[in-house]
Amino acid sequence: MTETKDIAPVIGSDSAFDLDQKTKDATIVSTSEVSSDREKSTSWARKIGSFFWDSIEGDAEYRQYVRRLDMFFFPTVCFGYFIKYLDQTNYSNAFVSGMQEDLSLYGNERNWLNTWFALGIMVGSVPAQMTQLSFIRPSILIPSCEVIWSCLVIGMGFSKNIRTMYALRFFIGLFEACAFPGYIAMLGSWYGPKELTKRLAILLQVESIASMFSGYLQAGLYTSMNGKHGLAGWRWLFIMDAVISFPIAFWGFFGLPDLPHNTRAFYWTEEHIQYGVERIEKFGQKAQPKLTWAEIKRVYLGSEIWAFVLPYTMVAACHSATSYFNLWLKATGHTVVQANVLPTAGNALNIVATVLTGMTVDRIGCHYWVIVVIQVLMMFSNVLLSVWHIPKGGLMFAFYLSYAGSAATPPLLSWAYKLNAGNSSVRQLLVATANVVSYAWVLWVPLVLFPTYDAPHYKYGYQILILFGGVSVITVTLMWYLYRRRE
């Protein structure tokens, strides 16, 4: 009893309360420290993750907005570009898979197919982009052209002679001309300077994915569908291309959001639209003015657009050795399946190099130096191919290295959009104009420098590609100088 009495006052005493309070405080401090450590850990994890994808870091509103862009808009663009480049690769794979023999194409017909396609692109690019800015929304024009384009691709599979193919390739190019410039202009209008390069890198790597897919698809169709219903395996390749294209084209009517100031996409609320407009205006962008003749004259008589077009053209030209890799494989005794599959390793290299380059540029900038380093590597690749009489492994390495050349294009594009943030008309017409000049420039390259009858060893082709690499370094330096002087 005495012990109980002695203990009872202690339990209710101030010292006991103080002890209990200290225990609680210690628990709160401990919990707070754990919570703080967890937030710090999360913060570091987000910072690391944001190197690979920007929407991992930032406030909640920003993350939700960009994720919605990435969920609806960006995949629509990627799939749309995929079907276009699948066709551009398919005719090359079809050529080495029986089309040459079936249609007796032993002259320069392969290059002429590319020439007629390029002519269609050149004729259609700028008028199509101006149409999107003045009369028809991109979300209507681009998918409509894709549906027509898909029907024309089916015609390639049933063509009986090369003249029909020439006509089809021209109109395929004509209806495809609106797509790439339209996609890039929309991406540059929705994504900010720290977000655009990696997405352009991924978009352009859709080329490599389409090339890989085309190689595997042609290899599979050659072994499983050759002769089915009286059609050769290479003809089935064009038919399957169109089958894949139709649903992607129809989705474009819903997935493409036009521009932030005039969007009516189903996945945006009024709050999203207001946030998006305020966001891009912070980047210095403005609403697209009506495209009048005076505005067109201002764009094309200014230096900004041409300062971009020149390096863009050279960058696109200097890594074109990849187009002749499968011809070298065929000439050196590789099977049809190997000639279709081995280039896919180069496409895989291209994907890794370009995406990592895009992520690095978005994180730390340095557009100019990244472009210059890649062009130097392309010059080295073409030096090896020019020498030619080196071990077979050396030539294989040179061809594979040339696939990394397209890694320079995303930094160049995002840099141009950043430098012209306040000049809406220039931004919208940059790629369309560059496409015309680029296709016009490379139009003569296959016919003059890489004639099919000289394959796979060309007399002057790879030497001229070295020159293109050097000119690309000079012109991108000129671009840097002009904009720096303006600032």
Helix-strand-coil percent breakdown of the chain, rounded to 5? 85, 0, 15
The pair of structure tokens assigned to 250 is 């129809």
Neighbour tally for 204: CB within 10 Å: 23
Please give the pLDDT value at position 450.
82
Determine whether 12 is exposed, middle or buried from the number of CB atoms within 10 Å of its CB (0-12, 13-18, 19+).
Answer: exposed
Please give the pLDDT value at position 39.
41
The helix (H) or strand (E) run that includes residue 262 is none
Q: What secondary structure letter does DSSP report for 405? A: G
Please give the pLDDT value at position 19.
42
Please give the pLDDT value at position 139.
93
Please give the pLDDT value at position 20.
47
How far is 150 from 212, CA to CA, in rounded Å? 20
CA quadruple 62, 270, 423, 410: dihedral sign: positive
Please give the pLDDT value at position 82.
87
The letter for the amino acid at 299 is V
Please give the pLDDT value at position 300.
92
Please give the pLDDT value at position 487.
67
- Look at phi and psi of residue 123 and say left if phi exceeds 0, alpha if psi is from -120 to 50, else beta: alpha
Please give the pLDDT value at position 9.
39
Please give the pLDDT value at position 125.
92
Is the CB of residue 150 less than 8 Å from the CB of residue 246? yes
Determine whether 389 is exposed, middle or buried from the number of CB atoms within 10 Å of its CB (0-12, 13-18, 19+).
Answer: exposed
> CB within 8 A of 145, min separation 6: which ones?
128, 175, 176, 178, 179
Q: What secondary structure letter does DSSP report for 1? A: -
How far is 231 from 227, CA to CA, in rounded Å? 5
Is the CB of residue 327 less than 8 Å from the CB of residue 455? yes
Terminal C-alpha separation, the chain: 91
CA quadruple 101, 105, 110, 113: dihedral sign: negative
Using a cut of 0.75, tell me whether the model's pTM lies above it: yes
How far is 318 from 382, CA to CA, in rounded Å? 8
Mean pLDDT by 10 residues, the chain (487 residues): 39 42 45 41 65 78 91 93 78 74 75 85 92 88 92 87 89 92 92 91 82 71 70 80 88 93 91 92 84 88 90 89 84 80 85 91 89 95 91 90 91 91 87 90 78 79 91 92 79
Q: Which domains does the chain have, with CATH numbers?
A: 61-253+269-486 (1.20.1250.20)
The letter for the amino acid at 385 is L
Is the CB of residue 205 less than 8 Å from the CB of residue 350? yes
The pair of structure tokens assigned to 173 is 């190019």
